[in-house]
Structure 1
């Protein structure tokens, strides 16, 4: 994790002291969170100084006047931190981000024993604790309070994030006290200020900018890289619309600071990636660069070096920046439009994926895909995982273009599109009469229930799939002839030895897959709306091949909010 002895970076100004609570004191608390003033009176607040191991907790408020009226959210955080410290809560990469070798041999990126001890001895930042007289942001309120302590503290949040050694997104599924709506990972990702905190973390100058997503007291993972890249800071949801401009500017400053750091210290691949992605990330107009300006901008010595370099080469930069003209120029100079990536998993792009796949999954305009196709990009190419470009489609326009070019279809096509893309994208495939197959190892509903946690369109996607005969009782069948099947078998052995509750999310999922229905998968991920939707579609309460019922899977993962519904249906 981050170096706790390093001084806070100077990219953001701290206008108000950063107040923290000792983790050991926090673990002794109970009930709803006490406000800043009371904690200060009791001597429980400490000002940040270099050397403090600091945990920044980002969360969505569960009430209008109080962040956690019943104390449910913080109770989950206390249990999760306690389990991290003792080592019974494993934090690893998610299933799709990790390589097969990683999944088989164990965590290459996890909480070390040193980090667990630092957490135990560390300090916690939570807005309600740290900011005096903080209130909910409402239109017409607090607009003239720019000189107040509370406003200064809110303006200092980017600096607080940069000072943190560990960043936790606290996103258990709980109901909002006033609206009654579920608050979870997808809703947290939708909030403008939560996105601002997230972007400040990921664009900070720290060497380790990982984000721990805590779904429950028993389940936590490192964030999928594409989860933040597809949730643009300018598109967040704000209670006070005037906050949008403030947060957009904050994102611009954070990204520029990141670029300066990478330009000075590298790696150059990341510098070029963020530079190429800057217009899309900030919602700005893409600029077509002349060849000379393109080479200067991305720091290539020549067209030849831009073509010859691996990783973030010239074509990758042109694709990610949406520069159609440079795609043609580079191709005319013999750049390979069927170039396959080396491993860029830290950025969300994986070995053997093609430029056409990159263009699709990075939300590029159809003109970028059309340019590659016109230059004979292979629309039938498959990645190492067996997926074609259309599997990675993110818009209806991309789907229509790829289908017109006769892109390779695959029986599990909907698993990728329904998990990651919008309902308009799914509808485009259905209009083209692409089949929602129930004759595959993993049905499309498995993709939605297991892989769509951050996708706000997942419920609509599931409804579309059910309306087109997706089987709500489809049982997953990992094939032991292939690596994933062997991993599932290994995961099952690990769970047998250590038990569900002390294994990682990856091990629990792998062990559960054989015979798992979409309802069981929704129980694993703790999604009450998907559980309700599947039950209304007559999903059966059935065991997987290990004999686990949905309510048992939910309990093992700490999703206790599902137990009344699932246990009642089981009885």
Structure 2
């Protein structure tokens, strides 16, 4: 994406070929009585071709402006797009494609929005409810039965084909990333993708070690990842329990290439059960609770930013520093957990942090306050997906006496930053900030 100039994008949009996936997949509702079986066969073949099309695309567009559904007279927007299983499959198939393109999200906003693959992975790791198979499906709403020429016919659940496509794409992605550092990021999505699947079966220790080519418990990959790191980040609690049981008490916790321990991995995916297994060893001290990774972030920053509320409570109960800033010299130096939570509209985490004494007057190295963070990304592509999450977050921060008149180092208030970031001259959030100014 960094090599695409504005002129190239303009030319590609004007002259490029567009593949509309939804218009290329046969629909059973359009089938005649004597062609239902063939339509179902063709539909499955079309669905399995989605990955092949994505591998050949230069851009992945999500068109989700706010509109009224003609038949149901209900509002459709990016939030409802994210709620649909087939729409989720599009997004996840792109992530698992060979190119993993940064999506270009088009709404009624004047500016296109996007997100990186890594933030999407971190946001969805260990969250089966976010996976495609947990989305809404018309076949389920119809009771897996449709009327064709006056006759009721049974149809299979679309989850079957969606699960099949996901597992094949995930398997191909992991194979292509073999021996790559990226593989250890994508493994965090296994529990989200494999909802209700045999793929979630937990392997024995020997099989697990062979899969990741790590011969001993204290051995590690070329990237410094031990079996305990991998088990923690993949959400494999039984394996974590077994490995901790075999661990030599008193040995130092190994750190991977990212500067994280296995405990940090458990915190990252939000598994309170796994984190408690580590804490039960009585060898997770305050230094590790508040330890920075190589990107300058500690567990409290990541759990707050990605809405792991129960994990946040656990960290705070175990001496996590509520106003710990991101490390000086890092990309987002100075950001506290409250600023991280505000950025992603994680109002529950904001509330927890404020209850524990977090400062609403904290600033990052650019002088941004919690309100600037809330205004920075007008459309929540990553973070809290609830429709009113941003408004709820802003009101919570204002009620906690955050200062709407405060300017950052660029001389902008949060309201002015929101107007600049969104391209809008006004909006509900913008007006709310001005009301409190």
With normalisation by structure 2, the TM-score equals: 0.65
Counterpart pick for 1:529 among 375, 379, 388? 388
Paired residue for 2:153?
A: none
For residue 556 of structure 1, give the secondary structure of its aligned residue in structure 2.
helix
Paired residue for 2:233?
A: 320
Any unmatched runs of 5+ in structure 1?
Answer: 2-108, 343-350, 416-440, 453-457, 479-484, 489-513
For residue 219 of structure 2, give the secondary structure of its aligned residue in structure 1.
helix
**CA RMSD of the aligned region, Å?**
4.7
Once residues 218 and 336 of structure 2 are traced to their aligned partners in structure 1, the CA distance between those partners, rounded to angstroms, is: 44
1:350-387 CA-partner distances (Å, limit 9, x unpaired): x3232211111123351464146517244532114665
- Structure 1 residue 333, shift from structure 2 partner: 10
Paired residue for 2:320?
A: 408
Spell out the pairing of 1:241-256 with structure 2 (5 A cutoff). Answer: 241=140, 242-256=157-171
Counterpart pick for 1:544 among 407, 411, 415? 407
Once residues 373 and 280 of structure 1 are traced to their aligned partners in structure 2, the CA distance between those partners, rounded to angstroms, is: 27
Does the 8 Å contact 1:213/1:221 carry over to 2?
Answer: yes
For residue 173 of structure 2, give the secondary structure of its aligned residue in structure 1.
helix
Paired residue for 1:432?
A: none
Paired residue for 1:126?
A: 20
Counterpart pick for 1:295 among 209, 216, 227? 209
Does the 8 Å contact 2:264/2:299 carry over to 1?
Answer: yes
Counterpart pick for 2:292 among 360, 383, 393? 383
Larger relative CO (CA 8 A, sep 6+): 1 or 2? 1
With normalisation by structure 1, the TM-score equals: 0.52
Q: Is 1:257 aligned to residue 172 of structure 2?
A: yes
Spell out the pairing of 1:46-57 with structure 2 (5 A cutoff). Answer: none
Does the 8 Å contact 1:167/1:211 carry over to 2?
Answer: yes
Any unmatched runs of 5+ in structure 2?
Answer: 141-156, 327-333, 380-386
- Structure 1 residue 460, shift from structure 2 partner: 5.2
Does the 8 Å contact 2:322/2:337 carry over to 1?
Answer: no
Once residues 125 and 560 of structure 1 are traced to their aligned partners in structure 2, the CA distance between those partners, rounded to angstroms, is: 30
Once residues 305 and 402 of structure 1 are traced to their aligned partners in structure 2, the CA distance between those partners, rounded to angstroms, is: 26
The number of equivalent residue pairs is 374
Does the 8 Å contact 1:449/1:530 carry over to 2?
Answer: no
Paired residue for 2:420?
A: 556
Does the 8 Å contact 1:477/1:515 carry over to 2?
Answer: yes
Higher mean alpha-carbon deviation, 253-262 vs 355-364, is at 253-262
Counterpart pick for 2:113 among 220, 242, 250? 220
- Structure 1 residue 251, shift from structure 2 partner: 1.1
1:260-317 CA-partner distances (Å, limit 9, x unpaired): 334xxx3344456656863554135451513x333322223x3278337433333322
Once residues 163 and 323 of structure 2 are traced to their aligned partners in structure 1, the CA distance between those partners, rounded to angstroms, is: 40
- Structure 1 residue 248, shift from structure 2 partner: 1.8
Once residues 171 and 180 of structure 2 are traced to their aligned partners in structure 1, the CA distance between those partners, rounded to angstroms, is: 15
Once residues 395 and 37 of structure 2 are traced to their aligned partners in structure 1, the CA distance between those partners, rounded to angstroms, is: 50
Spell out the pairing of 1:9-28 with structure 2 (5 A cutoff). Answer: none
For residue 341 of structure 1, give the secondary structure of its aligned residue in structure 2.
coil
Q: Is 1:160 aligned to residue 58 of structure 2?
A: no
Once residues 433 and 95 of structure 2 are traced to their aligned partners in structure 1, the CA distance between those partners, rounded to angstroms, is: 42
